[in-house]
Chains A and B, each alone.
Chain A
Amino acid sequence: MTLVTLGTIEQALAYSSILSFLAIGISLLYKTTKVPNFAHASFATAGAYSVYSISTILGLNPYIALIVAFSSVVLMAVLLFIVLEPLRRRKASTQMLMIATLAYDILMYGVLNVFADTIQALFKIPSRTVTLMRFDFTIAGLRGVLVVSLILLSLSAIILYLILNRTYIGICLRASMENQALAESIGINTRVTLLISWIIAGGLAGLGGGILTIWTQIDPSIGMLLIPSMFCASILGGLEEIYGAIIGGFLLGFVEIIGIEVLARSVGTWVTPYRPAIPLIILFTTLLLCPKGLVGPLREAIRKSWRRG
């Protein structure tokens, strides 16, 4: 008996890669600023709506519109960076910064809804519960968006790794993330490196959000709906582990989609509406049992066994 269909695996892979795009940004920002960025919800939504509006209004292929998604969310992220600067300079506490990102998220939620309403009125196009699935192509029986998102994710991860480890700016970034005072003391302008972190995080979130539009239906609340999963993926990997976010993303993505599918088949479809509880429960448990996530401790365990063996 096949518990899982190919279609479900496709779903899981696509969902996981979208989560990963978003979770990397959250982890990167947390590692740099020590603040969980709750505005990531709006980043995702903005990416989704950028692709949707550009594609629908200008008639562009949605995959090309991804570039716009990348840029527009970068702008949104940079704006948030600017808003947070006075707080950061004042050495405001983590709580205050968290509240600030929450407030920015609410603000942008309103703006995105206004955007949706406005384009609907101005261009006479639907703007809620919409999708661009029909523009997708298929490769070897698989949905194009799945292939593209996996390729983009891999490319992004590789490029990010190369930037962080082989370039001058990347080393400055890593140094600032690790020890801000020392980085400044050797002449690194950590304000600039901070800005770059926001740009990278925003861009990746934009890509994730853009892919979302092609993969499924979107709505101005899509970001808010996904935020528990985004954070859960990030925390599973470890809030300070950039690449761990990808592991967390796939872990959670598979549990959410395949896990629920398996459960529904075995105990009944009544479990399906409980799906949103999965990331919440996992998030909670992880925070209580191993708040640093799975990747860090795993790495330590491997290192220890290496040394022993």
Chain B
Amino acid sequence: MLEVESLNSGYGKLHILQDVCLKCEKGEIVALLGPNGAGKSTFFNSIMGLADVFSGSVRLDGEELVGLSTHKIARKGVGYAMQLQGVFADLTTEENLKASAKMAGINYEEVLPEILDYFPDLRRFLKRKALTLSGGERQMLTLSISLIRSPKVLLLDEPTAGLSPLYSTKIIRAIAQINKSRGLSIVLAEQNVRKALEIAHRVYLLVSGRIIFEGTPSDLSSREDLMKLYLGGESK
């Protein structure tokens, strides 16, 4: 499905990721956890061609993505929900979604109901400019923009960052639902460890640019040393 092998990447002279390996099989939710500054965003940027890849490979269904331009990677089926600035602020919610659907050659009217199923709140602010949305609303829109394109794999960069518990739950639940009903592969980077472990099938721990753990959520929870050191000590 999505295979990242020995990825070394960064920005310009800054070397951030070191020999990172990650796999996301079809229909899986893979959680990428790690403290702030570990390189989670860089990881996603590297896959999307928004960061400089020094060596390594990224393959989607066997096809090499490294070296392709970002829009080509997007068209091959990688969806990316950015942590910050994931919406077109000057456009309305509806225009945002329409633009995304149109670029993917998808009929907006047809897929809208499904999106609204996952995020019923969207209905409230369809006609409002994205600029005016609250944090939670904006995140829902960011997710929907990627979702509406029917990607093969979805990269979610800290979708619950800075959100209230209410919105965090809504979003995490929606993610789980999307995965189950569509069988969509998802790589989820999260600071909210507990919620991520609830829905993930497998987990990677990224610290200072390296993967130091790979396994199931329960495996990670039982590793008290790692939990305490890097993940704020929460284990349930």
Contacts and interface: CB of A to CB of B under 8 A. Distances in A.
A190 interface: yes
Interface string A174-186: 1100110111111
Contacts of B48: 184-185
A129 interface: no
A187 B74 contact: yes
B12 interface: yes
B80 interface: yes
Given A168-B102, A175-B99, A184 B71 contact: yes
Contact of A187 (B71, B82, B88): B71
B127 interface: no
B99 A184 contact: no
A238 to B, nearest CB: 14
B69 interface: yes
Contacts of A190: 71
B159 to A, nearest CB: 15
Contact of A189 (B50, B71, B86): B71
Interface residues of B, number: 27
Interface string B47-82: 011100000000000000000011100110001101
A91 B50 CA distance: 11
Contact of B88 (A175, A184, A191): A175
Interface residues of A, number: 19
B90 A178 contact: yes
Contacts of A91: 12
B85 interface: yes
A185 B79 CA distance: 7
Contacts of A175: 88, 91, 99
B87 A182 contact: yes
Contacts of B122: none
Interface string B100-125: 10111000000000000000000000
A76 B12 CA distance: 31
Given A182-B82, A185-B71, A187-B103, 16 more contacts: A174-B90, A175-B99, A178-B88, A179-B88, A182-B85, A182-B87, A182-B88, A184-B48, A184-B50, A185-B74, A185-B80, A185-B82, A186-B103, A186-B145, A187-B104, A188-B103
Interface of A: 91, 168, 171-172, 174-175, 178-179, 181-191
